[in-house]
Amino acid sequence: MSAPIDDNKTASISDEEGGEENPGSYSTKAGDKFNWPPLESNPEVFAKYLHSIGLPTTFSIGEVFGFDEDLLAFIPQPVLGIIVCYERLIPKSQYREQDKGSPDNYNKVAWYMHQSGKLDNACGIIACLHAIFNCPLVTLDPSTVLGSYKQRVESLSPTERKSALEKDTDFQKAHNVHAQRGQSSAITSDQSKVKHHFIAYVLNSEGDLVELDGTKAGPVVVGKVDGDLLRGSIREVKGKLERGEISESLSMMTFNLANE
C-alpha cells in the first residue's frame, strides 16, 4: 500500500526550539508578518519561481503522486534531487540521535546552509537550493538572482550562507512574488496556520543518501541506496511515518531534467 500524497500543502516550520546560539534552530513570534511567506508544495509554482531567478529551463520540478511502483514509473529520470513537504509531529529533541544532523557532516555534501528565524518560511526555497547546489550538472549565470547568490556564498560557512540569504533583497522580492501563487497566498502572518516543513534529499559524491534540513545541526547521512535517490528517499519518509515522526499529510517533488 502506498503512502498518501497530499499535493496542496503550504509549508514551513514553527519550532519551539529557538535560539541563535544554535544555528539549526529558530522560532518566530506570533503575529509577526512573515519575512519569507510560505510556498505551496506545487511543482508548477516551484518551477516558475526557480526559472525566474535563474535555474536553466533544461531543469524542472516534478511530482511524486504516490509510492507504488506503477506510479514511480512515470517520473522523469534521472532524479537529481528530492524535495519533501511534511508535517512534523515531534520536537527535534525527540529525534533519534542519528537523525539530528551534525556539523561534522558539512563536508559530506558540496553545499549546505542553515535556516533562521528571519528566514521564517523559506524552507521551501532552501530545500531547492540544497537540491540544485549539490547537483554537478547545474551551471548558473552569475548575473541571475540564483547564480549571484551562489557565487557570493560559495566560500562561506552554512551559518554565513544563512545570513547572506537574510540580506538578499532581490531574492526575497522574487520569493514574495511566487508565494502569492496558489493556496499559500492568504497566509501572511499567522504561523499557527503553517503546519508543514520542506527538506531535501540528495546523493553525495560517495553515493550516500543525505538528508538536508536547514533547521537541523547539519546534514544527516543516511547511507547507501544503490544509486536510487528516489526509492531511497521514499524508504526514509516511510520510516519517519512508521516511527510517528511525521503525519501522513505530505507531498514529494523531484528535481530533474526537463522533458524535451
Please give the helix or strand (H or E) that residue 149 lies within, else none: helix 145-153
Owner of C-alpha cell 528517499? 233
- Examine the residue annotation and report whether 197 is marked as an active-site residue of this protein: yes
Question: How far apart (Å, rounded) are the C-alpha atoms in residues 94 and 244?
Answer: 11
Which among 143, 138, 169, 164 has a CA at the least distance from the CA of 153?
164
Q: Which of 85, 123, 130, 178 is catalytic?
A: 123
Which among 132, 116, 136, 137 has a CA at the least distance from the CA of 49?
132
Under DSSP, the state recorded for 93 is: G
Residue 238's alpha-carbon distances to 186, 219, 244, 247, in angstroms, are 31, 19, 10, 10
Q: Which of 130, 175, 196, 197 is catalytic?
A: 197
- Examine the residue annotation and report whether 178 is marked as an active-site residue of this protein: no
Which among 155, 159, 151, 152 has a CA at the least distance from the CA of 103?
159
Catalytic positions, please? 123, 197
